[in-house]
Amino acid sequence: MPDAFAPAAEAGIHRLAIPTPFAVGRVNVYLIEDEPLTLVDAGPNSGRSLDALQRGLGELDHAIEDIGLVIVTHQHIDHIGLVDIVATHSGADVAAIDVLVPFIENYSETAAGEDEFAARIMLRHGISGDVVDALRSVSNAFRAWGARADVSRVLRDGDTIELRDRTLEVCFRPGHSPTDTVFYDADRRLLVAADHLIRHISSNPLIARPPGASDDPAERPQSLAIYLESLARTREMEVELVLPGHGDPITGHRALIDERFEFHRGRAEKIRELIAERSRTAYELAQALWGNIAVTQAYLTLSEVLGHTDLLLNAGRVREVEDDGVVRFEAVA
């Protein structure tokens, strides 16, 4: 079988598949052989992941000490966990978009704040207190797979990163998380996209609080609506090869993005039908769609449902009715 990453390797970008403890499986870390030697993301903070990173670098005749720049794509812990270890051992610069800086520099506090915000959203949307508590301990247990890191180079949307042999344009694409950033090599028509676009899974726009935003769950961001806007911007780009944060490279990004648009339209319709049958909470909608939901999937599925009720709310097709702090969705005729 031909190596799907061969075209990237020809451009000097090597994929290192780093193990994670998460359902998503391995995370793609990219080594850009240029000056400085650049790593995009670093994998989760575990000995096993660090071994895999060192081994992968070794196979390419490099070592952690040689890395001069680490670029961070977004705030998720399967991407950021080893950034600090790599930067500390190599003295590398760490580059991240401005909105990601407070998150990664104060990782423990912001992660705890996010969990608190998530708990309020879950309670507001019909998930019971014991499930919320159970999920809080799961989330606590996973926290150590992330770690704080100092950012030495703050990026802004539209900035460029100049390496010896290439220029990467910094493009802010929030949605999958509030800090997603993709890096565009216009000369090679190549996009390092991390979790903004993944071939085999639709990138769940998890509800997360943008740094500095209100922690009132009634004012949560509309993650899916934001994500779809970001996808529309990416769709307009001239890209031949997308390097994702998980799974194989993507060609034909417009067709894949159109599939995603179609998928979300269909799911919003399905949810509108369920709401038209009778008013329901987002949690009841998730149960109607997926049956009995594992505790660990409760927030994920809730985010998925709320993303679509947001689209329906924006279109004036459903409304929220709040009773005793819990929201139900009702059809608008």
Please state the closest distance from residue 194 (CB atom) to Zn ion, in A: 7
Query: Based on CB atoms, which residue is closest to Zn ion, 90 or 204?
Result: 204
Size of the site for Zn ion (CB under 5 A): 2
Q: Are 26 and 17 in contact (CB under 8 A)?
A: yes
Cα–Cα distance, 262 to 148 (Å, whole number): 38
Q: Which residue stretch of 56-64, 73-81, 278-286, 316-324 sits at the interface with Zn ion (rule: CB under 5 A)?
A: 73-81
Please state the closest distance from residue 193 (CB atom) to Zn ion, in A: 11
Query: Based on CB atoms, which residue is closest to Zn ion, 34 or 195?
Result: 195
φ, ψ dihedrals at 165, nearest 5°: -105, 5
Q: Give yes or no for residue 195 binding Zn ion (CB under 5 A).
A: yes
Query: Based on CB atoms, which residue is closest to Zn ion, 40 or 163?
Result: 40
Nearest to 114 by CA among 151, 84, 83, 77: 77
Q: Which residue stretch of 48-56, 117-125, 187-195, 290-298 sits at the interface with Zn ion (rule: CB under 5 A)?
A: 187-195
Please state the closest distance from residue 320 (CB atom) to Zn ion, in A: 28
Cα–Cα distance, 245 to 26 (Å, whole number): 9
For residue 42, the Cα-to-chain-centroid distance in whole angstroms is 14
Please state the closest distance from residue 195 (CB atom) to Zn ion, in A: 4
Lookup: tokens for 219: 């004012």
φ, ψ dihedrals at 87, nearest 5°: -65, -40
Q: Give yes or no for residue 26 binding Zn ion (CB under 5 A).
A: no
Query: Based on CB atoms, which residue is closest to Zn ion, 163 or 194?
Result: 194
Query: Based on CB atoms, which residue is closest to Zn ion, 195 or 304?
Result: 195
Q: Are 316 and 329 in contact (CB under 8 A)?
A: no
Please state the closest distance from residue 97 (CB atom) to Zn ion, in A: 14
Instruction: Among 76, 173, 220, 272, indicate the residue that binds Zn ion (CB under 5 A).
Output: 76
Query: Based on CB atoms, which residue is closest to Zn ion, 185 or 195?
Result: 195
Q: Give yes or no for residue 125 binding Zn ion (CB under 5 A).
A: no
φ, ψ dihedrals at 20, nearest 5°: -130, 160
HSE of 51, CA atoms in CB hemisphere, 13 A: 5
Q: Are 328 and 283 in contact (CB under 8 A)?
A: no
Q: Give yes or no for residue 196 binding Zn ion (CB under 5 A).
A: no
Q: Give yes or no for residue 173 binding Zn ion (CB under 5 A).
A: no
Q: Which residue stretch of 70-78, 136-144, 254-262, 312-320 sits at the interface with Zn ion (rule: CB under 5 A)?
A: 70-78
Q: Give yes or no for residue 114 binding Zn ion (CB under 5 A).
A: no
Q: Which residue stretch of 69-77, 117-125, 257-265, 303-311 sits at the interface with Zn ion (rule: CB under 5 A)?
A: 69-77
| Sheet of strand 241-244, all strands in order from the earlier edge strand to the far edge | 160-162, 167-172, 181-185, 190-194, 241-244
Please state the closest distance from residue 18 (CB atom) to Zn ion, in A: 13
Please state the closest distance from residue 162 (CB atom) to Zn ion, in A: 27
For residue 203, the Cα-to-chain-centroid distance in whole angstroms is 7
Q: Are 311 and 268 in contact (CB under 8 A)?
A: yes
CA dist 128 → 55, 115, 122, 132, 286 (Å): 45, 16, 8, 6, 14
Q: Give yes or no for residue 166 binding Zn ion (CB under 5 A).
A: no
Please state the closest distance from residue 260 (CB atom) to Zn ion, in A: 16
Lookup: tokens for 333: 């005729």
Binding stretches for Zn ion (CB under 5 A): 76, 195
